[in-house]
Structure 1
Amino acid sequence: MKLHLLDRSTKLSNTSFTIRNNRYPNFLKIWHYHPEFELVTILKSTGTRFIGDSIEQFSVGEIVLIGKNLPHMWLNDKDYFKEGSRLVAQAIAIHFEENFAGEAFFNMPEMQAIKNLFSNAQYGIVFRGDLSAAIKMIKNLEQENGFNRTLSFFKILNLLANHKDYKLLSSMGFVNSFNNTGKTNLAQVYEYIIKNFKERITLEEVANIACMNPTAFSRVFKRVNRKTFSEYLNEVRIGYACKLLMEDKYNISEICFESGFNNISNFNRQFKKTTNYSPTEYLKTRTGAV
C-alpha cells in the first residue's frame, strides 16, 4: 500500500485550525499522513479504521485524534462501494498544528492536560463512552467565527483531554519507525534500539548504555514503559514489519529477517501477539483496502 504525504500547510496559512464537514458516498481510500494533527468525528457510516498498525472497526459517534505524521485511513464497508448505493459517509475533520497557539502557551500549568493529550496523539487516540457533549460542541464549531471559534476549540480539546474513557491505537514500535527520538532519560537506549533492532541486542548491551546493571535497568525500563525490554524490542521489530508489509516490497519470509527475527515461527508468534493477526491475515486486511 503506497503511503501518501498530504500537504495541508496552505489551508492553515491564514487560520490556526481548519474544520470541514466531509460528506461523500464513501471515504477516500488513501493511506496517508501529514504534519498537522487531525481530530475526526464520524457522523455517518461504518467500516475499518487504520491508524499506524492498528486495525479496528469504526462506527457512528466515534472521535479520533491523530498526531503529526501518523499514517491513517478510514475504509468504508463493501456496501458503500456497490453501484447504486445510497449510503453516505460523513465526518467532521479538524486540522491544526501542534503549537498553533505557540509553544509557550501550552507550557502553562493550565494547559498540562491538553499537552498530555497532544503527547498521546502520536499513537492515535479513540475516545469512547458518552461523547454527546463533545460531538455537539464540534458540530456547533462550524457556525462560529473569530475569537469565539478559537475559544470553543480550546474547550473541545480540554473536554477530550479530561475524558477518561479512551484507547491508544498504534504501537510504540510502529511510531518509533517514523519518529526516532526518545522522550525520557532512556533516550540513548531508545536511539540504540531503533538503530540496531535488526541485529541481535542483549540486555547487557542496553543496560551498559544506560550506565546500570542489568537487574536495575530491567526494573527501571519496565516501570517507565510498562513492559519488559524484550517485549519493547519485539514491539519495535513488529512495528517495522508492519511498515514493510504495507510497502509491499518484500515477502513475509524476507520481512521476518529484515525486522530482526531469526526464524519464521518466532516471528509469526510475536506478530500475532502484538497485532492479533498473523502476517498473512494482516497483509490481506491491508491490501484489501486499496
Structure 2
Amino acid sequence: MKPSLERLPLEQGESFVAKFFDYNFYPTPWHYHPEYEIVLVTESTGKRFIGDHISDFKPGNLALLGPNIPHTYRNEEKFYRKNSKLRAKSFVIHFSEQSLGNDFLQLPEAKPIRQLLLKTSQGLEITGAANIAVSKKLHDIISEKGLRRWHSLLEILTLLAESKKLQPITSTPQIGYNEKESARMCQVFDWLTINYSSAIKLADAAKIAGMNENAFSRFFAQRTRKTFSGFVQEMRLQKAARLLVEDELSVTEICYECGYNNISNFNRQFLNYYSSNPINYKKTFLKRM
C-alpha cells in the first residue's frame, strides 16, 4: 500500500489546486502534504482520521488543515462492496502561502488571514454560517478560471478569518512522518475500521504493522497521542453513539455490534466518554430534533 506524501499537481497557469472528486470510495491513504487543505465532504459517510483525532464524517463536514498534518478519510465498509452504487464526493483545495503572492501575508490588511493560517497546525473544524458561505464558494470556484478563481480563494480565507465558528480538530499541533511510517499507520487504520466490532488484540495490530508489540505500542502512542486500546475504545463508542440515534437497535444489541461483550462495561465506558448513559444520550438527541 503506497502512502504518505501526497501532491496534487498544479495545472498550467494556476497557483493553487481546486478539485471536485467523485469516487466509489475515498482512495487516499494516511498521508500528509506541505500545502494547506480545505476539504468539504458532499456525499458519503465514514471515519475521519486527522492527527490524533478520530470522528465520523458525513455530507457537510468542512475542515481547514495546516501543512503536514497526517490525515485520511475512510468510508464505511458498504462503500467497498463490489456492486455498490454509493459515491464518495468532495471539494478539495490545496494552496500554499506562495499561492497568495510573495509578501502578501506581510500586508497590514492581510493580518486576519495570517492569524488564521497560524491556527491551522491543529486543523480547524468549520461550522455555522461560515460553513454555509464557504461551501457555496467551493461549489463556485471549480468552474472559475484565472484571477476570478484566485479572488474566490481569497474570499474563502477572508470568510474563515472572520468566523467565530472555528474549532481546533486535534489536541496538539501535528506533523507528518516518513513514507514507511505512514504506510504502517494506513494499514492499521484500514484494519481497525473493518474489524473494530470484533475482538481486537494488540498482537494482531502489531503484526499488521510488522512490529513487535512493545515497539508498536510506542509507535502508535507517539503518532496518535493515544494508547492503542484507548483509540479502539473511542472508535467503538463513536459508532455506538451513531447507532443510538440512527437505528432502532436496543442498547444491548448496539453493545455487541460495537465489539463489547459486557453490557455493564459498555454502559460505564459510554458514560465516561459522553457524560451520559446510552438511553439518556438517545433521549437528549431526539428532543433536539
**Band the TM-score falls in, shorter-chain normalisation:** 0.5 to 0.7
Matched position secondary structure for 1:95: strand
Q: Which residue matches 1:172?
A: 172
Deviations 1:160-179 (A, max 9, x none): 1222122212232644x86x
Q: Which residue matches 2:209?
A: 248
CA 1:275–1:162: 2 relative to 1, 3 Å: farther
Cα contact 2:70–2:174 (8 A) shared by 1: no
Distance 1:271 1:5 in 2: 16
Cα contact 2:18–2:92 (8 A) shared by 1: yes
How far 1:64 sits from its partner (Å)? 1.0
Deviations 1:75-103 (A, max 9, x none): 11111112211111100111111332235
Distance 2:84 2:36 in 1: 32
Q: Which residue matches 1:86?
A: 85
Distance 1:125 1:246 in 2: 34
State the 4+ residue runs in structure 1 displaced beyond 4 angstroms.
244-247, 255-259, 274-277, 282-285
Cα contact 1:3–1:71 (8 A) shared by 2: no
Q: Which residue matches 2:48?
A: 49
Distance 1:122 1:63 in 2: 16
How far 1:284 sits from its partner (Å)? 8.6
Q: Which residue matches 1:125?
A: 124
- Identify the range of structure 1 (17-26 vs 102-111) with the bigger mean alpha-carbon deviation: 102-111
**Match of residue 278, structure 1, among 229, 245, 254:** 229
Percent of aligned pairs with the same amino acid: 30
Q: Which residue matches 1:216?
A: none
CA 1:95–1:174: 2 relative to 1, 3 Å: closer
- TM normalised by structure 1 equals 0.62
What is the 5 A alignment of 1:17-96?
17-96=16-95
Matched position secondary structure for 1:143: coil
Report whether the alignment pairs 1:145 with 2:131.
no
Which amino acid counterpart does residue 67 of structure 1 have in structure 2?
Answer: G
Root-mean-square deviation (Å): 3.5
CA 1:154–1:53: 2 relative to 1, 3 Å: same
Which amino acid counterpart does residue 124 of structure 1 have in structure 2?
Answer: G
Aligned positions, number: 209
Deviations 1:38-88 (A, max 9, x none): 111111111111111211111111111111111111111111112211111
Which amino acid counterpart does residue 86 of structure 2 have in structure 1?
Answer: L
Deviations 1:150-189 (A, max 9, x none): 11110111101222122212232644x86xxxxxxxxxxx
Matched position secondary structure for 1:172: coil
Matched position secondary structure for 2:99: coil
Cα contact 2:52–2:223 (8 A) shared by 1: no
CA 1:25–1:271: 2 relative to 1, 3 Å: closer
Distance 1:154 1:134 in 2: 11
Distance 2:72 2:173 in 1: 19
- TM normalised by structure 2 equals 0.62
CA 1:128–1:251: 2 relative to 1, 3 Å: farther
CA 1:103–1:42: 2 relative to 1, 3 Å: same
Matched position secondary structure for 2:34: coil
Q: Which residue matches 1:156?
A: 156
Distance 1:137 1:252 in 2: 47
